[in-house]
Structure 1
Amino acid sequence: MNETELQFRTAAFGGFQKQDVLTYLETSAREQAEKLSALQRELEEAKKGKAEAEEKASAEEKRLSTLEEENKRLAADLADREASLSKLSAERADLAAQVAGLTQEVKKLTPAAASYEAIKDRTAGIELEAHGRAQAIEQEAQAKVKKTKAEMECWFGKLQSAYSRLRADLDATITHASGELDRVNQSLEGISREFDAHDAALKALQETVETLSGPKAPQPLPLEEK
C-alpha cells in the first residue's frame, strides 16, 4: 500500500476523519478475509488431490501383490510340469534298458535256436513284439514330451507377457504418482509463500493502525481555503 492511499481527509478540528479510517480498515479486513478463504480452498483441494494420489498408489500396490501371487502359482505349476517331464524321461530310459536287455537275451538264444526252428521262430516273434512295444512306448513318450514342452512354452510366454504388462503399468503408475506429488508440493510451497506475504502485510497494517491511534499522530493537512 503506497503513501497516497494512507492519506485520509482531515477533520474540521484537526486529525483524520474517523469514517475514512474505519472504511479503510473494513475494506482491508474484507479483502484479507477473501484472500485467506481462497487460499484455504486451494489448500483443501491440494490435500484432496494428494489423498487421491495416495489412494491410487495403494490400489496399484495391491494389484502388484496379486500379480506376484499369480506369478508364484505359475512358477509352482511350471516346477510340477518339469518334474513330470523328468519322470517321463526316466521311464523312457527304463524302457530303453528293458529293450536292451531283451535284445541281449535274444542274442544269447540265437545260437541255440539255430537247431530248433520252433524256438527260433518264437524268439523272433518275441523280439519283434518287444521291439514293436518299445517303439510304441518310445513314440508315446516322445509325444508326451513334445506336448508338455509346448504347454510349458505357452505358459512361459503368457507369464512373460503378464510380467511385461505389470512392469509397464507399475512404471506408469509410479511416474504419474510422482508427478502428482511434485505438483502438490509445489502448490503447498506457493501457498506457504502467499501466507508469509499476507502475514507481512497484516503486520504492516497493524503497525499503521497503531501509529494512527497512538500519541504521535501525524500532522493534519491544512484545510482547503474556500
Structure 2
Amino acid sequence: MENNTFKSVTFGGFDKQDVIRYIEQTAKEAAEVRETLEKENEDLRGRVERLNTRLTAASSRAEALEAERQTLKEQLEREIAARQALEPAKPEAERLSEEVEKLRPDAEAYAQFRERIGAIECEARKRAADLEEATIARLEGIIAAFREQYGTLASSFDATAAHVTGELRKVEVNLAQLPRAMDQAGAELEKLSETLKKAKESK
C-alpha cells in the first residue's frame, strides 16, 4: 500500500478513481488482517480453555491420588499393627511345642510301664494312656492350628504389605510427576496469554 502512486490530474490534485481504489484496497487488506487476527485470537482462546480444563483435571487427579495414598498408608499401618499383635503369641506357641516334646518320652515310658502291670490295672492303664494320648493330641492340634493361623496371617500380611507398598510407590511416582506436568501446563498457559496479549495490542 505504501508503494501506491496516484495519477495527477490537471485540476484538483490526484485522480479520484486512483484514490478510491487505494482506499478500497486498504480497507480490504485491513479487513483481512482483522479477520486473521480474530481467528488467531479465537484459536488462542480455545487453547487457553483446553489448558484450563487440563489443569483442573490434573488438580482433581492430584487430590484423588493423595486420598488414595493416605488410604493405602492407613491400611499398611493396620496390617503392621495386626502382625505386631501376633508376635507376642509366637514364643508361647513355641514353648507349648517344646513342652509337648518333653512330655512325649515320659508319656510313652509311662504307657510301657503300665503295660507290665497285671490285669487288675489293665483298664486303668488303658484309660490313662487314652487320656495321655488325648491330651497330647489336643495340644498338638492346638499348636498346629495356631501355627496354621499364624502362617496364614503372616502370608496375608506379607502379600498385603507388598501390594500396599507397590501401590504407595505408584502413587508417590504419580505425585512426583504431577507438579512437573502442572508446571509445564502453567508455562504453556502463560506463553499463550502473552501471545493473546500481543495479538490484542497489534490490532
Q: TM-score range by the shorter chain?
A: 0.5 to 0.7
Are 2:83 and 2:157, in contact at CA under 8 Å, matched by a contact in 1? yes
Q: Which residue of 2 aligns with 1:152?
A: 161
Residue of structure 1 aligned with 2:185, choices 177, 191, 197: 177
Matched AA of 1:62: S
CA drift of 1:43 comes to 0.9
- What is the root-mean-square deviation in Å for CA atoms of aligned residues? 4.0
**Percent of counterpart pairs with the same letter?**
22
Q: Which residue of 1 aligns with 2:77?
A: 79
CA distance in 2, matches of 1:126, 1:93: 24
* Structure 1: 5+ residue stretches without partners: 107-112, 196-226
- Would you say the 8 A contact 1:85–1:145 is kept in 2? yes
Q: Secondary structure at the match of 1:161?
A: helix
Q: How many residues get paired?
A: 183
Aligned to 2:122: none
User: Do the aligned partners of 1:8 and 1:17 also contact (CA within 8 Å) in 2?
Assistant: yes
Contact 2:51 2:189 in 1 (8 A): yes
Cα distance change of structure 1 residues 134 and 92 upon mapping to structure 2, 3 Å threshold: farther
C-alpha distance in structure 2 between counterparts of 1:52 and 1:169, whole Å: 20
Match of 2:42 in 1: 44
Give the equivalent residue in structure 1 for 2:147: 139
Q: Summarize deviations over 1:160-198 as a string: whole Å, max 9, x none.
A: 23543x247636743662564265246336525743xxx
Identify if the C-alpha distance between structure 1 residues 76 and 12 changes in structure 2 by more than 3 Å, giving closer, same or farther.
same
Q: Structure 1 CA distance, aligned partners of 2:181 and 2:57?
A: 10
Q: Structure 2 matches for 1:77-156, cutoff 5 A?
A: 77-95=75-93, 99=96, 128=136, 132=140, 135-140=143-148, 141-156=150-165
How does the TM-score come out when normalised to structure 2? 0.66
Letter in 1 for 2:167: K
Contact 1:43 1:191 in 2 (8 A): yes
Please, which runs of 5 or more residues in structure 2 have no aligned partner? 104-109, 115-124
CA 132–26 in structure 1, closer or farther in 2 if over 3 Å, else same = same
The higher radius of gyration belongs to 1
Normalised by the size of structure 1, how large is the TM-score? 0.61
CA distance in 1, matches of 2:134, 2:50: 78
Contact 2:6 2:14 in 1 (8 A): yes
Q: Displacement of 1:96 after TM fit?
A: 5.2
Distance 1:122 1:71 in 2: 57
